[in-house]
Amino acid sequence: MKQRLLNKKFLLSIFVISVLVFFINTVTESNAQALKQTGPADLGRHLVNKDILAGIDLLYDERFNDAEILFQKVISDSPERPYGYFYLAMVTWSRMAAGFWSPETVDEYKERIDWTIQVAQSRIKSNAADSYDYLYLGGALGFKGRFELMRGKWFSSFLLASDAIDALKTCQKMDPNNKDVLLGLGTFDYYTAHLSGVLKFLTYLLLHQGNKQEGLRKLNLAAREATYSATEAKSMLLHIYLFLERDFLKALHLADELAKKYERSSCYEILRGVSYIRLGMETEYRECVLRLREKSLLAPSIMEAARWGKRALYLDTVYDLFHGHYRLARSRLNVILKRTDPENDPAMIAWPLIKIGMSYDLEGNREKAIKYYRQILDMENGSGAQFLAKKCLKTPPKKDDPFIGF
């Protein structure tokens, strides 16, 4: 019986590999033909779109409604090009990243990202595509794959990633000087190097050979020289250095730059504070908390004041957890949870619950910690905290776990 089961698993693995080989070969041949037909189009004619740059800054400054209006204008100006649709999808993605994971927002995101893919593919089929059409096709496919991965659908994510890489490589062949493409390629380089087991084998064999250092090189180059993706590359590097590489000084430099540029975003101010905590810079960390509290005091509305005030408490709990003050951390987190605002600030429900679960794990109370992680998975709006809840359910955090600072 055991031997028959192993044989079935082996045959299933062979089938999956065969399907992926066929799929990737088909996609590669298709894009190679597209490249032959279009040639290196429009290399010298791409002008920087100032509306897109302004809209990107609005996104990172969490001014989502203003960004929505601006990107709708970009679509009106160039309805046949994919970039306006792509950034409109990024408005919805940014709202989700800020904690707004309602079913309506998720459906809007899926619709907008599919819209981007359709417009880009239409340009390619009509032989009108230039390198930027492939860039935004690759970006849209990559973000769709990222969404599927977050939903636990690794096979569909794998296939979308294959398509995305192929589109990005076609973009690079058409315009070797395009630095925006390095964000996607660098991300794939870095993160595929972190895969393990069957996924690592399949990725190495069929999709993309991971290379951590090459990924970091590309991301740093994109951060310095890309036209549209420089900020996202910096944000990506900040998270990599802080949570994966543990290079806290590099993380601090990036967090400091982004926090100063995007003063309305609480994300980068908190990550700057976490960087100070990790570096043992006590005075600077305290100043960071004070800045958050000052923003609460000077906020133009009660809702905004509450938002900044809760972030100050949240950053304090990160300090508490890293320094073993577990009861104090729970006390602060319960204050946040007593001030919940599901409509305007849903992130400050799921993420404090994660921290409470972590506090119990760090104390050795695994049973109680698990209840909090499962509570997040049962929520209608887990605000993106589900991935960390699953991680903690699989492996309890240790004392110096970098994800305590997430």
pLDDT (tens digit per residue) in 321-375: 999 999 999 999 999 999 999 989 999 999 999 999 999 999 999 999 999 999 9
pLDDT attached to residue 208: 55
Residue 17 has pLDDT above 70, yes or no: no
How many residues comprise the chain? 406
pLDDT (tens digit per residue) in 215-248: 999 999 999 999 999 999 999 999 999 999 999 9
Q: Is 364 left (phi over 0), alpha (psi -120 to 50) or beta?
A: left
Pick from 365, 301, 355, 348: nearest CA to 331: 355
Contact 230, 223 (CB under 8 A): yes
At 191, the pLDDT band (50, 70, 90 cuts) reads confident
Alpha-carbon distance of 223 to 230, in angstroms, equals 4
At 160, the pLDDT band (50, 70, 90 cuts) reads confident
Q: Which residues of 35-69 are buried (b: 16+ CB within 10 A; e: fewer)?
A: beebeebbeeeeeebeebeebbbbbbbbbbebbbe
Alpha-carbon distance of 67 to 165, in angstroms, equals 28
| pTM, two decimal places | 0.85
CA distances from 291 to 214, 335, 337 (A): 37, 20, 22
pLDDT (tens digit per residue) in 90-112: 999 999 988 888 888 999 999 99
How wide is the angle at C-alpha 32 spanned by C-alphas 27 and 37, nearest 5°? Answer: 125
Out of 22-31, 48-57, 293-302, 382-391, which region has the weakest mean confidence (pLDDT)? 22-31
Pick from 220, 200, 223, 198: nearest CA to 210: 200
Q: Which residues of 288-319 are buried (b: 16+ CB within 10 A; e: fewer)?
A: bbebbeebbeeeeeeebebbbbbbbbbbbbbb
Instruction: Give the DSSP per-residue string, 349-361.
Output: HHHHHHHHHHHHH
Pick from 207, 209, 252: nearest CA to 234: 252
Alpha-carbon distance of 248 to 277, in angstroms, equals 9
Pick from 382, 390, 289: nearest CA to 403: 390
Domains of the chain, first to last: 15-33+50-235 (1.25.40), 259-405 (1.25.40)
Q: What is the helix, strand, coil percentage profile of the chain, to 5?
A: 75, 0, 20
Token pair for 101: 């994971």
Higher per-residue pLDDT: 64 or 189:
64
Higher per-residue pLDDT: 27 or 264:
264
